[in-house]
């Protein structure tokens, strides 16, 4: 690896590359002072860190979107309850199993069952589907992504055979969380769910949006500090992409370049983390997933849902939805993987053990006391104008693994485009 050159964030980048934990203030400095040269330096280091743990393997998760009904009204989401233009659907158990059967024959060994917070997705329904899927394919891994539930529900789903659970925290700053979600959704409840998932025995996935309305460098530093402390086995981050039927329709999209930069930072924080190259990247850049893999990602999640419903699970505009058969998806990915310097493998892609001598924060509990939940008033159910990702937003950030308070949360300065 080439030597780092002069710049305000280079000493912090080098400290990260050598495996040291960073304070929130250092993380904020790293976010603010991104340059193309620094991004490439960290991407190269992140690729090496990933390969030291997983080799050249690229893991595929077969995504099955089981329902687009949702009780929530999140301001950024295209399947929010208040969007009356969505054609709602819910797959029958036999449809879910048929998607998985086709995926298994093609080479997929992990299936992700994702849906809105749909009251019809009861514990009994989900446990029956998970049990049937495990009975049909005992060697597969099942990941669930069906939102906030009770600790007892998580325990039942784990006992039924589900292996992993994805629940993005979206932002680790309480005041920012309230800008993105209506009452009664709270960051405290989301963090409690993540802790309950870990206690239930799941491999846990967290994650956040990049460039969401009102987001600042201080917010991103809090997100990174949370990821550094909680050490999720999986971390899904992607750029904010507006949806035309949401209150944030006119807000600018997030940055592919910044997303990839943060992927590299997260990979270096925890070389064993499973990092997806998200489809939201391809909504903004046809080469978005390739760029994410070059920045340290090692997971892809092609859509195995029935083609007839893929267009109805639009969380954001321009979501890729090809409708190809599972074997076509696998073959196309295998070809792309070779071009990315990777090898698509028929493997569950389980999380690797944390490296020896890693951070003592691995698996540390997250409680309400660990979060600086401020007392700012909750906004009305309709979001106030936030001025996009360049706005000034105040409020508490997650005070996790910090040694100095972040500077005042002003806007994120854009990185100069590479020549």
Question: Per residue in 66-102, is it b (16+ CB within 10 Å) or e — as a string?
Answer: bbbbbebbbbbbbbbbbbeebeebbbeeebbbebbeb
**Domains in the chain and their CATH numbers?**
49-345 (3.20.20.70)
Please give the radius of gyration of the chain, using alpha carbons only, rounded to the nearest integer: 20
pLDDT at res. 409: 29
Work out the percent of the chain whose per-residue pLDDT is above 70.
83
Token code pair at residue 347: 């493997």
Mean pLDDT of the chain: 87
Q: 359: closest CA among 299, 274, 271?
A: 271
Per-residue pLDDT for 379 more than 70? Answer: no
pLDDT at res. 358: 38
**Which whole number is the average pLDDT over 127-132?**
98
Per-residue pLDDT for 372 more than 90? Answer: no
6 pLDDT band, cuts 50/70/90, is low
Distance CA 290, CA 282 (A): 9
Note the pLDDT tens digit of each residue in 346-367: 999 999 986 554 333 334 444 3
Question: Per residue in 169-197, is it b (16+ CB within 10 Å) or e — as a string?
Answer: bbbbbbbbbbbbbbeebbbeebbbbbbbb
Note the pLDDT tens digit of each residue in 275-313: 999 999 999 999 999 999 999 999 999 999 999 999 999
Per-residue pLDDT for 28 more than 70? Answer: yes
pTM for the model: 0.87
Mapping DSSP to helix (H, G, I), strand (E, B) and coil, where does residue 65 land? Answer: strand
**Which whole number is the average pLDDT over 91-112?**
98
Distance CA 96, CA 38 (A): 44
Token code pair at residue 304: 């195995």
Distance CA 291, CA 307 (A): 27
Count Cβ atoms within 10 A of the Cβ of residue 298 and give its class: 0-12 exposed, 13-18 middle, 19 or more buried.
buried
pLDDT at res. 354: 65
384 pLDDT band, cuts 50/70/90, is very low
Per-residue pLDDT for 322 more than 80? Answer: no
């Amino acid at each position: 690896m080439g030597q780092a050159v002069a710049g305000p964030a280079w000493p912090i980048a080098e400290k990260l590359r050598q495996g040291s934990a960073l304070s929130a203030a250092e993380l904020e400095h790293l976010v603010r002072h991104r340059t193309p040269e620094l991004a490439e330096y960290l991407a190269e280091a992140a690729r090496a860190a990933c390969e030291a743990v997983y080799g050249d393997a690229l893991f595929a998760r077969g995504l099955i979107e089981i329902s687009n009904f949702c009780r929530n009204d999140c301001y950024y989401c295209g399947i929010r309850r208040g969007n009356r233009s969505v054609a709602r659907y819910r797959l029958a158990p036999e449809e879910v199993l048929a998607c998985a059967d086709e995926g298994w024959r093609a080479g997929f060994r992990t299936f992700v069952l994702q849906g809105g917070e749909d009251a019809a997705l009861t514990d009994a329904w989900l446990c029956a589907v998970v049990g049937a899927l495990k009975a049909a394919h005992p060697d597969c891994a099942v990941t669930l992504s069906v939102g906030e539930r009770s600790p007892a529900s998580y325990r039942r789903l784990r006992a039924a055979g589900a292996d992993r659970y994805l629940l993005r925290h979206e932002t680790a700053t309480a005041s920012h969380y309230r800008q993105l979600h209506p009452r009664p959704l709270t960051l405290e409840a989301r963090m409690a769910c993540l802790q309950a998932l870990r206690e239930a025995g799941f491999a846990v996935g967290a994650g956040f949006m990049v460039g969401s309305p009102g987001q600042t460098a201080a917010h991103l530093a809090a997100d990174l500090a949370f990821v550094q402390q909680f050490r999720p086995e999986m971390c899904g981050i992607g750029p904010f992409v507006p949806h035309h039927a949401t209150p944030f329709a006119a807000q600018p999209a997030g940055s592919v370049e910044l997303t990839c930069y943060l992927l590299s930072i997260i990979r270096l924080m925890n070389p064993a983390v499973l990092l997806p190259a998200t489809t939201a990247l391809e909504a903004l850049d046809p080469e978005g997933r390739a760029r994410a893999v070059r920045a340290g990602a090692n997971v892809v999640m092609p859509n195995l849902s029935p083609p007839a419903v893929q267009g109805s699970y639009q969380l954001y505009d321009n979501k890729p939805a090809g409708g190809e058969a599972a074997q076509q998806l696998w073959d196309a990915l295998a070809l792309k993987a070779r071009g990315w310097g990777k090898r698509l493998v028929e493997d569950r892609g389980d999380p690797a053990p944390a490296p020896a001598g890693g951070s003592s924060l691995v698996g540390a509990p997250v409680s309400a006391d660990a979060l600086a939940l401020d007392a700012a008033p909750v906004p009305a159910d309709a979001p106030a104008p936030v001025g996009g990702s360049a706005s000034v937003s105040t409020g508490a950030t997650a005070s996790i693994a910090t040694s100095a308070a972040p500077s005042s949360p002003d806007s994120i300065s854009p990185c100069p485009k590479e020549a």
